[in-house]
Structure 1
Amino acid sequence: MSKKDLLNKTFAQTLDSDDELRSYRKEFYLQPGTIYFDGNSLGLLSKRAEQALHTVIESWKTYGIDGWLKGENPWFYFPEKLGKMTAPLIGAKPSEVIVTGSTTVNLHQIVSTFYKPEGKRTKILADELNFPTDIYALKSQLKIRGLHPEEHLVQVKSRDGLTLDQEDIIEAMTDDVALIVLAGVLYRSGQILDMKRITEEAHKRGILVAFDLCHSIGAIPHSLSDWGVDYAFWCSYKHLNGGPGAVAGMYVNEKHFSASPGLAGWFSSDKNKQFDMEHDLTPAPNAGAMQMGTPNLLSAAPLLGSLSMFAEAGIDRIRKKSLKLTDYMIDLINLELGDFGFKIGNPLDSVQRGGHVFLEHEEAARICKALKENGVIPDFRTPNGIRLAPVALYNTFEEVWEVVQILKKIMKEEQYKKFENKRDVVA
């Protein structure tokens, strides 16, 4: 393929006409004159998600309290139903997945339940590039146990400030580590960690492994059960398009089902025992035991519609298109923006790259503001990062082409200089 072909808008339009997922774009609410490339922070609302929310509200209107057991989607079993729909996206058995809580709450539950410091095996292994909420949770869990985070939380260093060398992770798996918590996809650079290999190496050393899938679920395929991963947790408002504050999810390998929840609540109960109102908990015999309080039905409902699209489209086809989109964007950036000081911070190898492109630039905050002024919604990450996420279900190749042309115009005309180079309150 020639440089001329790549730079031609007609080429992008041809890619769109050949796109087997193009029909899903009309399922989403897209704002006229706006190119939304921030789906790795908050996915767009789909008509199916909206309808699913209305369906749950209608069941409340129609049945009142009987909605817990009546209607098309009885509320009492709703977290398990959504777990079953989510399971194919992470390569898990339906019984191993529950939709509940939030990212941070679910990490607290995993650590509270399965982190058991004994003898010299007291440390938790994470990394210095992890999203802050995970580190806050891990430090607080250590403090609760009277352990000092400075001593008992080990964070693998990055060699380049963007990615992790997996040999460094394995080297840090010493015999005093009890639990590993890492991201499946790093939130800044989009690097995919080799979850299978990390799990195998950890288990050789008697260490349990949990993965944060916030930036990987809905963007890349997983095989958690086959890989033997112990636990995973994620949010549902990014690539899963569940809406702001959507109920999150958790995976527990079936080999750990016998564990009682560290943070128990009445929805931790075996469904058949829950309304016996006994003060001695009988935990659910599956991942449902990791639930605590009553599920947030109105924050979970949109997932019913969103996940139905994933079931139809298939995560493999979504991943295939996602890679084509980001490959195309990287090619265009290299061809069009080489003179403007941008650095691509992603792994270029598609096997190691998640669902977004990460650009570094010293004027990143100002550039993001200029992009918004030009109708492009990006994502700024302190101190100098621009995340651009063309989402397979609703973004197009023509939009990728247009965004790169807009970036080029912003840089040539120095439009960014009218803005202050610092983030807004919410970046």
Structure 2
Amino acid sequence: MSLSQSITGAKEFDKKDPLAHFRDKFYLNPNTLYLDGNSLGLLSKNAEASLLRSLDDWKQHGIDGWSDGKQPWFYMAENIGEMTSTLIGSHASETITTGSITTNLHQMLATFFKPSGNKTKILADSLTFPSDIYAIQSQLELHGLSPETNLIQVPSRDGRTILEEDIIEAIDETVALILLPSVLYRSGQLLNIEKITKAAHSKGVIIGFDLAHSIGAIPHKLHDWNVDFAVWCTYKYLNSGPGGVGGLFVHENHLGRRPGLAGWFSSKKEMQFDMSHTLTHAETAGAFQIGTPHIFSMAPLIGALELMNEAGIDAIREKSLSLTNYLMCLIKENLTEDGFTITNPSEDDRRGGHICLEHDEAARICKALKQKGVIPDFRSPNVIRLAPIALYTSFEDVYHVVQILKSIMIEKTYQQFSNERNVIA
């Protein structure tokens, strides 16, 4: 074993890590090695503090917390949107924190999908997260269109990844809108957003992206790439907490457009309390809000984003790539004889923030890992996802995870578990 693949090497990497001090800002269980931040990020002390500030605003001010609190609620969505804009390469006016990822998808589809003539189809991929497909199917049906004929799903050649060339080739004269993930949730493949967006626009097609598995892990330039819209959740790499409020981006080229799904918070802020039955919607991304913001779900995001912006998204990406490269190196060194296959792209520019391991016994191996204090993520039927997070995972953590996984395979402790997922995987 080389020095770099030893515990000594891992500790040396940690000594040289410029982001190592952020680890102390998170609540880490000393008996747990947490590699599931791509599903739910851990609580930071900053996020806890910003939530408690909003609770105190409620305690001290009651209804006046909307205007007089330390974190006034009325403009909280816009303020958090501005904090988020640095991570995705957008203008503050193009970004809002609101809803959930799927309700925001419905909003974007209702706003931008305008079938006419022979342009009646929505293009997606065959490997995207199911909720995105459900939203597309619902919107097609609301237009009286059949999902069977009006939803195009670009097939995968290997069952794990999608070729950008296949996506581009599928954009024909019948496509009205494209919705794709930035990073495929199973394999961790990072799509070339700029390339696909240019191809879509060259054919007059609106295109949007689901950033669930890239925001907070990968830099974006949504404005410069001319992406029409994007949606995301905040509970993964942004560490906002379970069910944390989502967000959306609408390029300035489309600001001023009437929202497809209007609500009270779509209003211009200064006119919202006029109580008119005629909506005067905001000229910013705030127009695409619907209902009253979920304050206690948004509040932790203030502290979480403070840390993200202090660290810087470029530095976060650099460490993330180092961690996943190190993890892949250790897996190849220690687990090649145990039936594991690394199925995420190995190239840095094609890989998101997690590693995808396939194994025939994946479900029971995940259960054995949890028994040993390692928190992985299982995706049916045979995928183990491991996500070392730049702000709180150390290289030593990664080293120990692989050693524990190796011991599980040697001792066959996974055989005591059934090879079936739990209700919550």
Do these two structures clear the TM 0.5 threshold for a shared fold by scoring above it?
Answer: yes
2:372 to 352, 374, 377: 374
1:216 to 211, 214, 217: 214
Amino acid at match of 1:163: T
Q: What are the within-5 Å matches in structure 2 for residues 144-293 of structure 1?
A: 144-293=142-291
Taking structure 1 as the reference length, the TM-score comes to: 0.99
2:16 to 15, 18, 21: 18
Matched residue of 1:75: which SS?
Answer: coil
Q: What are the within-5 Å matches in structure 2 for residues 319-330 of structure 1?
A: 319-330=317-328
User: How many Å separate the matches in 1 of 2:351 and 2:259?
Assistant: 34
Do 1:126 and 1:180's aligned partners in 2 also have CA atoms closer than 8 Å? yes
Aligned to 1:421: 419
User: How many Å separate the matches in 2 of 1:258 and 1:355?
Assistant: 35
The Cα of 1:65 is off from its aligned counterpart by: 0.7
The Cα of 1:273 is off from its aligned counterpart by: 0.7
User: How many Å separate the matches in 2 of 1:152 and 1:42?
Assistant: 34
Aligned to 2:315: 317
Structure 2 stretches lacking a partner, 5+ long: none
Aligned to 1:115: 113
Matched residue of 1:188: which SS?
Answer: coil
Do 1:184 and 1:212's aligned partners in 2 also have CA atoms closer than 8 Å? yes
Matched residue of 2:61: which SS?
Answer: helix
Matched residue of 2:420: which SS?
Answer: coil
The Cα of 1:7 is off from its aligned counterpart by: 2.6
Give runs of ≥4 in structure 1 deviating > 2 Å. Answer: none
The Cα of 1:311 is off from its aligned counterpart by: 1.0
1:40 to 6, 24, 38: 38
Amino acid at match of 2:226: G
The Cα of 1:4 is off from its aligned counterpart by: 1.8
Do 1:371 and 1:406's aligned partners in 2 also have CA atoms closer than 8 Å? yes
The Cα of 1:259 is off from its aligned counterpart by: 1.0
Aligned to 1:101: 99
Matched residue of 2:306: which SS?
Answer: helix
User: How many Å separate the matches in 2 of 1:262 and 1:204?
Assistant: 25
Aligned to 1:136: 134
Amino acid at match of 1:385: V
Matched residue of 1:209: which SS?
Answer: strand
Do 2:211 and 2:232's aligned partners in 1 also have CA atoms closer than 8 Å? yes
Matched residue of 1:226: which SS?
Answer: coil
Q: What are the within-5 Å matches in structure 2 for residues 43-54 of structure 1?
A: 43-54=41-52
Aligned to 2:77: 79
User: How many Å separate the matches in 2 of 1:141 and 1:390?
Assistant: 36
Aligned to 1:308: 306
Taking structure 2 as the reference length, the TM-score comes to: 0.99
The Cα of 1:5 is off from its aligned counterpart by: 1.5
User: How many Å separate the matches in 2 of 1:113 and 1:354?
Assistant: 29
The Cα of 1:322 is off from its aligned counterpart by: 0.3
Do 2:54 and 2:69's aligned partners in 1 also have CA atoms closer than 8 Å? no
Do 2:54 and 2:70's aligned partners in 1 also have CA atoms closer than 8 Å? no
Matched residue of 1:393: which SS?
Answer: coil
The Cα of 1:33 is off from its aligned counterpart by: 1.1
The Cα of 1:32 is off from its aligned counterpart by: 1.6
User: How many Å separate the matches in 2 of 1:128 and 1:424?
Assistant: 25
Aligned to 1:364: 362
Amino acid at match of 2:24: K
Aligned length: 425
User: How many Å separate the matches in 1 of 2:173 and 2:195?
Assistant: 18
Do 1:6 and 1:332's aligned partners in 2 also have CA atoms closer than 8 Å? no
User: How many Å separate the matches in 2 of 1:7 and 1:137?
Assistant: 45
Matched residue of 2:43: which SS?
Answer: coil
Report the RMSD for the aligned CA atoms in angstroms.
0.6
Structure 1 stretches lacking a partner, 5+ long: none
User: How many Å separate the matches in 1 of 2:333 and 2:71?
Assistant: 51
